[in-house]
């Protein structure tokens, strides 16, 4: 059983395009009137704040040198400042935290990169060639404004290294001693979003959706960094930056895959899944290389002779540093080929689609299918078997039998799509799957007709009422009804029958009512003589559906309702083969004095635009 401590950040977060326009409101919320604006590119923020800007400081620097902080601190006292606003990357945010540490003033952070520092109570400062770090909840910004528009002009090089820096926060959180279920989920979502967004931004830097994806990923990764303790990766980056002056995000980008290769294999497996890759360290290395990030510590200016001093007496750390210094591709933790480049190539082939939704759906489908292939180490024989299964499924499809619908039903996909499409309003009658036996244009019959036409079975009278959500009757609603016979067969399955039976189209009267006679529906097996039946037998599942009547109801100005009424007490209600039973659709079919059954039900339709 898991045990953990979770202490989440308390910052207020404002996210979206154009959110910088609310900066003055956020300062007003803090009751502040004199702002020290930090950052070299804060003109837009200054325009929004107007007269609230008491002073500006543009001389921010990487790794938050104490001397720079002291220079900014003079402005606080000289201009009677009561609030700090930082605009920019981690350097601006770091300076704001350093000033908060010395003054207790509230900080509003407006990040323009993917540093993640704004979501942490961590401050790293450099003095005399040494970087020291401290953690204090009081250092966290009071409000963080994520304006996607502020990231649109970020150069591609900085986008890539800053994004990999953010990814490093999420990666390390997964194997940190302070890991917990909340940060694990944040971390995996961050890795997924960043891994998806960075290749798109390398090609189209001003893609607003990709920028939003990356910024959301950076926010979640920052939460991870602020929640759990830092590990080897960040410790090395702090030494390399604070003592040796290496650039912050570039150092993270270079070190990340090499530290990953020496870290928890279990965590790497989860990261690989989030990236849709076989092996996490090599996938990140290849991503960084493909997007043009620096490839080695030697490129960043580190001397080989400095490596032993950085590693100390730990040979494992020295091996990591030596590999990162040379820029070698890490040895894969998994010997399966990495499919990530192939996956992205296939996804990129859809970008010319006329309908962006088509490209989005196909891209996501390919990523998931490729991930399935990798995660299960699928063999060629298994895949050919799957193709044969789908081929046989297609060959069984005809105007009277839809094996693919049956496959969708028995995998629960039809019910899942139905829930997403038709079950967003709790006030309408719940929907249910259409099933494979609906036939367009059933025969029109008057209210009171007998749909059974002399077929054997327990007689049934059904009284139906159609209303809107306010209970008002809906006149002239078109109601299609269909069901199986007492042996579990639909008319389309019985070639000896002439014409349709147990299916009809009726219309509601002025008071929204209609009624018909039929026979009591019984449980029945779905067709199991094809590939779907083979699948059910192979997995130990039965093919039976719980007894039910099908309804399709449509009326002008209202949403079409496709649903079913299930016989209370019927068999297989808890194991329906197509997962179609909903509690609100289980209805009493009480017996009458003559042994027949009755059912009464009111269907409630929502408005077409509701």
> Which of 350, 375, 400 is the endpoint of a domain?
375
Residue from 59, 11, 18 nearest 39 by CA: 59
Whether 423 shows a pLDDT value over 70: the answer reads no
Residue 81: other Cβ atoms inside 10 A: 23
Confidence band, pLDDT 50/70/90 cuts, at residue 579: very high
Whether 6 shows a pLDDT value over 60: the answer reads no
Helix 531-538 crosses helix 403-410 at what angle (to 10 degrees)? 20
Name the DSSP class of 440. Answer: S
Whose tokens are 């820029």? That residue is 327
- Give 29-44 pLDDT, tens digit per residue: 999 999 999 998 899 9
> 121, 137 in Cβ contact below 8 A?
yes
Q: Judge whether 95 lies within some domain.
A: no
453 and 585: one domain? yes
Token readout for 517 is: 């006679």
371 and 446: one domain? no
Strand partners, 107: 84
Q: Judge whether 184 lies within some domain.
A: no
Q: Judge whether 291 lies within some domain.
A: no
> 134, 122 in Cβ contact below 8 A?
yes
- Give 214-233 pLDDT, tens digit per residue: 999 999 999 998 888 778 88
> 294, 326 in Cβ contact below 8 A?
no
Torsion, Cα 92 93 94 98, to 10 degrees, reads 100
Residue from 103, 104, 81, 86 nearest 34 by CA: 81
pLDDT of residue 453: 83
> How many residues can be counted in the chain?
610
Sheet of 561-567, strands arranged across: 503-507, 478-482, 548-554, 561-567, 586-587
Whether 338 shows a pLDDT value over 80: the answer reads no
Contacts of 10 (CB under 8 A, 6+ apart): 137, 140
347 and 441: one domain? no
> 146, 167 in Cβ contact below 8 A?
no
The kind and range of the H/E element at 586 are strand 586-587
Which among 126-135, 264-273, 472-481 has the top mean pLDDT? 472-481
Token readout for 21 is: 């326009």
Q: Judge whether 481 lies within some domain.
A: yes
Torsion, Cα 334 339 340 343, to 10 degrees, reads -160
Whether 5 shows a pLDDT value over 70: the answer reads no
Q: Is the dihedral of CA 514, 518, 524, 530 positive or negative?
A: negative
CA distance 392 to 395: 5
- Give 322-333 pLDDT, tens digit per residue: 999 999 999 887
Torsion, Cα 576 580 585 589, to 10 degrees, reads -40
Please give the residue range of the domain that contains residue 347: 340-375
In percent, the amount of the chain with pLDDT more than 90 equals 73
- Give 44-86 pLDDT, tens digit per residue: 999 999 999 999 999 999 889 999 999 999 999 899 999 999 9
CA distance 135 to 143: 18
The kind and range of the H/E element at 371 are helix 356-375
pLDDT of residue 115: 86
487 and 346: one domain? no
Average pLDDT over the chain reads 91
Structural domain count of the chain: 2
Whose tokens are 């009658």? That residue is 429
Average pLDDT of 516-544?
94
Biggest distance spanned by C-alpha atoms of the chain: 99
Q: Which of left, alpha, beta for 204 (phi over 0: left; psi -120 to 50: alpha)? A: beta
Contacts of 126 (CB under 8 A, 6+ apart): 63, 64, 65, 66, 132, 241, 242
370 and 450: one domain? no
366 and 417: one domain? no
Q: Judge whether 451 lies within some domain.
A: yes
Q: Judge whether 243 lies within some domain.
A: no
Token readout for 372 is: 């399935």
360 and 454: one domain? no
β pairing state of 544-545 and 524-525: antiparallel
479 and 346: one domain? no
467 and 579: one domain? yes
Rg (CA), the chain: 32
CA distance 505 to 174: 58
CATH code for the domain of 498: 2.60.130.10
Whose tokens are 């606080």? That residue is 76
Average pLDDT of 353-370?
91
pLDDT of residue 1: 42
403, burial (CB in 10 Å: exposed 0-12, middle 13-18, buried 19+): buried
Whose tokens are 């039973």? That residue is 581
Confidence band, pLDDT 50/70/90 cuts, at residue 7: low
> 93, 86 in Cβ contact below 8 A?
yes
464 and 368: one domain? no
CA distance 63 to 396: 67
The kind and range of the H/E element at 271 are helix 265-275
- Give 448-463 pLDDT, tens digit per residue: 999 998 899 999 999 9
Token readout for 339 is: 């499919």
> Which of 328, 348, 375 is the endpoint of a domain?
375
Whose tokens are 């017996």? That residue is 591
Range with lowest mean pLDDT among 81-85, 161-165, 241-245: 241-245
Classify 146 as helix, strand or coil.
strand
First to last CA, the chain: 45
Q: Judge whether 134 lies within some domain.
A: no
DSSP string for residues in 192-213 = HHHHHHHHHHHH-TT-HHHHHH
365 and 421: one domain? no
pLDDT of residue 10: 63
Chain Cα centroid distance, residue 523: 38
The kind and range of the H/E element at 460 are strand 459-468
Residue from 555, 549, 428 nearest 479 by CA: 555
> 402, 436 in Cβ contact below 8 A?
yes
441 and 529: one domain? yes
pLDDT of residue 371: 85
Confidence band, pLDDT 50/70/90 cuts, at residue 565: very high
Helix 181-203 crosses helix 265-275 at what angle (to 10 degrees)? 50
Q: Judge whether 465 lies within some domain.
A: yes
β pairing state of 83-88 and 35-38: parallel
Confidence band, pLDDT 50/70/90 cuts, at residue 436: confident
> Which of 375, 401, 435 is the endpoint of a domain?
375
């Amino acid at each position: 059983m898991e045990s953990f401590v979770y202490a989440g950040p308390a910052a207020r977060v404002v996210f979206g395009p154009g959110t910088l326009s609310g900066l003055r409101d956020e300062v007003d919320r803090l009751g502040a009137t004199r702002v020290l604006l930090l950052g070299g590119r804060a003109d837009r923020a200054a325009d929004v704040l107007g007269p609230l800007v008491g002073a500006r400081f543009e001389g921010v620097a990487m790794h938050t040198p104490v001397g720079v902080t002291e220079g900014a601190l003079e402005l606080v006292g000289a201009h009677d400042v009561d609030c700090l606003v930082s605009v920019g990357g981690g350097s601006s945010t770091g300076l704001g935290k350093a000033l908060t540490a010395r003054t207790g003033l509230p900080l509003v952070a407006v990040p323009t990169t993917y540093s993640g520092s704004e979501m942490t109570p961590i401050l790293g400062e450099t003095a005399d060639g040494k970087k020291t770090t401290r953690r204090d909840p009081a250092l966290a910004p009071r409000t963080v404004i994520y304006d996607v528009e502020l990231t649109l002009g970020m150069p591609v090089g900085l986008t890539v290294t800053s994004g990999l820096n953010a990814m490093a926060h999420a990666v390390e959180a997964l194997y940190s001693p302070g890991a917990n279920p909340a940060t694990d989920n944040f971390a995996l979502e961050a890795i997924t979003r960043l891994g998806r967004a960075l290749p798109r931004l390398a090609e189209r830097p001003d893609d607003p959706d990709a920028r939003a994806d990356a910024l959301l990923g950076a926010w979640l990764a920052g939460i991870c960094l602020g929640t759990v303790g830092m590990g080897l990766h960040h410790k090395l980056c702090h030494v390399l930056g604070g003592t040796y002056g290496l650039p912050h995000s570039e150092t993270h980008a270079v070190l990340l895959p090499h530290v990953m290769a020496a870290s928890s294999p279990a965590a790497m497996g989860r990261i690989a899944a989030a990236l849709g890759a076989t092996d996490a360290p090599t996938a990140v290395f290849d991503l960084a290389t493909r997007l043009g990030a620096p490839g080695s510590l030697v490129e960043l200016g580190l001397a080989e002779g400095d490596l032993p001093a950085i590693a100390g007496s730990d040979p494992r750390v020295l091996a990591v540093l030596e590999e990162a210094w040379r820029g070698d591709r890490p040895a894969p933790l998994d010997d399966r080929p990495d499919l990530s480049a192939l996956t992205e190539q296939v996804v990129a082939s859809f970008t010319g689609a006329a309908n962006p939704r088509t490209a989005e759906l196909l891209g996501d489908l390919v990523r998931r299918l490729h991930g399935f292939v990798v995660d299960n180490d699928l063999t060629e024989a298994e895949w050919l078997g799957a193709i044969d299964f789908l081929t046989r499924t297609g060959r069984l499809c005809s105007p009277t039998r839809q094996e693919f619908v049956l496959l969708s039903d028995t995998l629960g996909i039809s019910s899942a799509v139905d829930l997403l499409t038709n079950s967003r309003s709790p006030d309408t009658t719940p929907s249910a799957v259409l099933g494979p036996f609906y036939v367009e244009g059933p025969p029109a019959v008057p209210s009171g007709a007998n749909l059974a036409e002399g077929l054997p079975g327990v007689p049934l009278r059904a009284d139906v009422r159609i209303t809107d959500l306010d209970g008002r009757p809906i006149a002239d609603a078109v109601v299609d009804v269909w069901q199986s016979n007492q042996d579990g067969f639909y008319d389309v399955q019985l070639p000896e029958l002439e014409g349709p039976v147990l299916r009809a189209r009726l219309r509601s009267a002025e008071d929204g009512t209609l009624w018909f006679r039929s026979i009591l529906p019984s449980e029945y097996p779905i067709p199991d003589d094809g590939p779907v039946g083979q699948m059910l037998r192979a997995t130990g599942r039965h093919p039976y559906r719980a007894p039910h009547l099908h309804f399709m109801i449509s009326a002008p100005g209202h949403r079409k309702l496709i649903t079913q009424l299930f016989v209370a007490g019927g068999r297989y209600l808890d194991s329906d083969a197509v997962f179609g039973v909903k509690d609100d659709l289980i209805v009493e079919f009480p017996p009458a004095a003559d042994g027949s059954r009755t059912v009464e039900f009111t269907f409630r339709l929502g408005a077409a635009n509701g």
